Amino acid sequence: MTEDELDQILETYEVPEPPAGFADRVMAAAHPRPARRWSATSWGVLAAAAVLALALALVGLWPTRPVTGALHARRRTEVTLGARGVAVAENGARLRWTVDGTRAEIEQSEGDVFYRVSPGQPFVVRTPEGDVRVRGTCFRVEVLEMNVSPQLFAGAAAGALVAGAVVVSVYEGEVAVQNEHGEVSVEAGERSVIEPSRAPSEPSDAPASLARRPRDPQTEAARDETPATRGIDEMDAPALRARLRSVAARSRERAHEVERLRGLLDDAELADPGRSRFFPASPADLRRWADACQLRLDQPPVMGIEPGRVGEHAETLELDPAEARAVQDAIERAHSSLTEDLRALYVEATGDVDGAAALSPRAMLAEIRDKAGTAEQHRNVMHRIARERAGLERPPPADAELSPSERAVRRYARVGDEFQERLARALGPERARELRARDEGWPWARSIFAGCDDD
Amino acid sequence: MERARRGEPEAQRALVERYQRPVFALLHRYRGPSAEVEDLAQETFLRVFRELPSFRPRGRARLSTWILTIATRLAIDAQRRADVRSRHEPDPPAAVVSPERLVERKSAAAAVAAAVSDLPEPFRAALVLRVYHDRSYREIADAMECDVGTAKSRVSRARRRLREALGEGMA
């Protein structure tokens, strides 16, 4: 089974909607009211309601549970939307739907989707810029992307999306395109563009290639269409702008794929028993890891808001009670030292004194990296440290003016060695080295940072 | 959010209505269909109300990620309690979804649900956050209190286990 096939299968796992009245129950639990006595009238109302519910159930009028689903298409995918609708979602399209009887509501947040809908109850496609209300037709909705921040490309937190445009092209029948600024009716062979903060454009003749009705969805799904070139010479400025944004969205997909492959590579490295060692590292190991752009770090549990515990690893390391106490003491001192150093760097990088007092080392390191550097700079520093360890590059001189972000990463990378030094002072250098080597590295936390810019 | 932070019931209700869907989806996929899902969802929002005053909206975590992190940790804690309870019970069935089991369930979706629920912790939580909630590896690492590399490895291993389980079942 390929990765794509797995993604397709995973997307079939739909979950039911939250039960009715859930918010009421949460609010009742959050703001409990004094209990009151049930009166005879209350019991009467309850009994009447129960009888009514039973009667409705017996005659089949009790509302059926809506069917919901979601899709993030990794390739062209056909979806059946209840009894009346079929959607063909192109790679990158995102959909969520709720079909209740013959009513359907689709939320299309991204991408290009062709719909075929039989006449019937309301069928609505909601997009970021407006709604498309359908009266039995064939049409295409393209949510044409959104500028994406560099941080998002780098896989960092989302939240910097800027609305794009939505193009609605009708092949058969008629649809209503509406948002808070206005509504237009779009007929077969026409197209309307919804741009942010504007009413939908008056319908215009769609370019011939766009207006042509696709073949049956199954045939359409099998066709190797190239969206980037479809009708491109016939597009006007809004459509071209939208197409450009759509291509940017696909780039984001590729960035996700790169991130996933890096994870798989990490895993493959970890799974290889001959290459899972973190400590001790021979010169050949260090050279091989540097060549592969890998920095391997084994650390004590010091990245949380509180220092971690020796825990079950007292057994892993075969510590006697006195040694376990010494190791716990070293963990606490290492945590305290790291927290203090990162707080100073965090304040230098962000000026946020309050945050420095409240955040864990892990959170401070991430914020320093995000606010005072980029993911690329972070990777470069990691790679330089790997090369320095392998003797392929000189470490920066002690008086070098390094950025707070680089100093933070370097501080983080020293944690494992520093912990060994602390234990050496308590237990002796030989015992400290022996403990670290027992499980081929400190057992609490192990990370492989991998990836060169040209990966 | 400011009004919810101040404890105004209307704003709190709006917050529940806005985020109940992803919270239920996460818990349902993590715990499987059970009455406990609603209990955990309710506990999630009660904890959100309690801790909202300390949430930093300008910090790294988005509100949605923060809420899902709370739900994830509650789900993991519940799983651990269940694991402790089941130590004295017979061994659970093998993780692989057999062809017979697939036939019984009659659908790929049910097989996926079974395979996901058979994933051991912490792979399951990492996979659910990544695949069904589009969280970045850094957000998963924060939610699960591990390093980014560990989060990547957990997702990768979860996917490999699912490929094995589903691949065998669907061969």
DSSP state string for A299-342: E-S-SSSS----TTHHHHTT--HHHHHHHHHHHHHHHHHHHHHH
Q: Residues 110..149 of B with a Cβ closer than 8 Å to A: which?
A: 112-113, 116, 131-132, 134, 136-139, 141-142, 145-149
Give the minimum alpha-carbon distance from A143 to chain B in angstroms, rounded to a whole number: 19
Least confident among A137-141, A274-278, A414-418: A274-278
pLDDT at B145: 82
CB pairs under 8 A between A and B: 137
Taking residues B39-51, what's their average pLDDT? Answer: 90
Query: How would DSSP label each residue in A194-225?
Result: E-TTSPPPPPEEPPHHHHSPP--HHHHHHS--
Pick B20's closest partner by Cβ from A22, A157, A158: A22
Res A195 pLDDT > 70: yes
pLDDT at A260: 63
Q: Is the ipTM of this complex over 0.90?
A: no
Single-letter amino acid, residue B119: L
Query: Percent of chain A having pLDDT more than 70?
Result: 74
B6 touches chain A (CB under 8 A): no
pLDDT surpasses 60 at A41: no
Which residues in chain B touch residue A350, judged by CB atoms under 8 angstroms apart? none
Element (H, E) at B108: helix B108-118
**Amino acid A72: pLDDT:** 77
Cβ pair A263:B46 closer than 8 A: no
What mean pLDDT do residues A317-324 have?
90
**Cβ–Cβ under 8 Å, residues A275 and A419:** no
pLDDT band at A272 (very low <50, low <70, confident <90, very high): low
- Put simply, the chain A residues between 342 and 381 with a CB less than 8 A from any chain B CB are 355, 362-363, 366-367, 370
Closest chain B residue to A151, measured at CA: B136
Average pLDDT over residues B8-18: 88
HSE toward the beta carbon, residue A92, CA cutoff 13 A: 21
Average pLDDT estimate for B20-40: 85
Instruction: Please state whether the peptide bond connecting residue B122 to the residue before it is cis, i.e. omega within 30 degrees of 0.
Output: yes
No. of helices (H) and no. of strands (E), chain B: 9, 0
End-to-end CA distance of chain A: 25
Answer yes or no: is pLDDT of A407 > 70: yes
Give the pLDDT score at A88. 83
**CB atoms closer than 10 angstroms to residue A204:** 12
Looking at every residue in chain B, the average pLDDT score rounds to: 76
Q: How far apart are the first and last CA of chain B?
A: 49
Whether A22 sits inside 8 A of B42 (CB atoms) is yes
Q: Looking at residue A103, what is its pLDDT?
A: 79
pTM: 0.36
* Probe site for chain B from A26, A153, A276 (most B CB atoms < 10 A): A26
One-letter identity of residue B52 = L
What residues have CB less than 8 Å from A316, skipping those under 6 apart?
A438, A439, A443
Spatial distance between the Cα atoms of B62 and A30, rounded to a whole number of angstroms: 23
Length of chain A: 455
State yes or no: pLDDT of A453 exceeds 90.
Answer: no
Element (H, E) at A183: strand A182-187
Residue entry with tokens 């369930």? B105
Residue-level length of chain B: 171
Is residue A114 a contact partner of residue A132, using CB atoms and an 8 Å limit? Answer: no
Q: Which of A81-90, A127-136, A377-386, B23-32 has the lowest mean pLDDT?
A: A81-90
Q: Which two tokens stand for residue A312?
A: 């079950």
3-class secondary structure per residue, A381-419: HHHHHHHHHCCCCCCCCCCCCCCHHHHHHHHHHCHHHHH
**pLDDT value, residue A347:** 92
- A233-237, B19-23, B109-113 — which is least confidently predicted? A233-237
Cis before A300 (ω within 30): no
Q: To the nearest whole number, what is the mean pLDDT of chain A?
A: 75
Residue of B nearest to A354 (CA): B56
Find chain A residues with C-beta within 8 A of B16's C-beta. 22-23, 26-27
* Token reading at A217: 């969805």
Specify whether the CB–CB gap between A437 and A280 falls below 8 A.
Answer: yes
For B78-99, the pLDDT digits (tens) are: 777 665 544 433 333 333 344 4
Give yes or no for A78 touching B (CB within 8 A).
Answer: no
The residue type of A367 is: E
Most confident range (mean pLDDT) of A163-177, A205-219, B37-51 is B37-51
Q: Which two tokens stand for residue A191?
A: 């197209």
**Residue B64's Cα: distance from chain center in Å?**
13
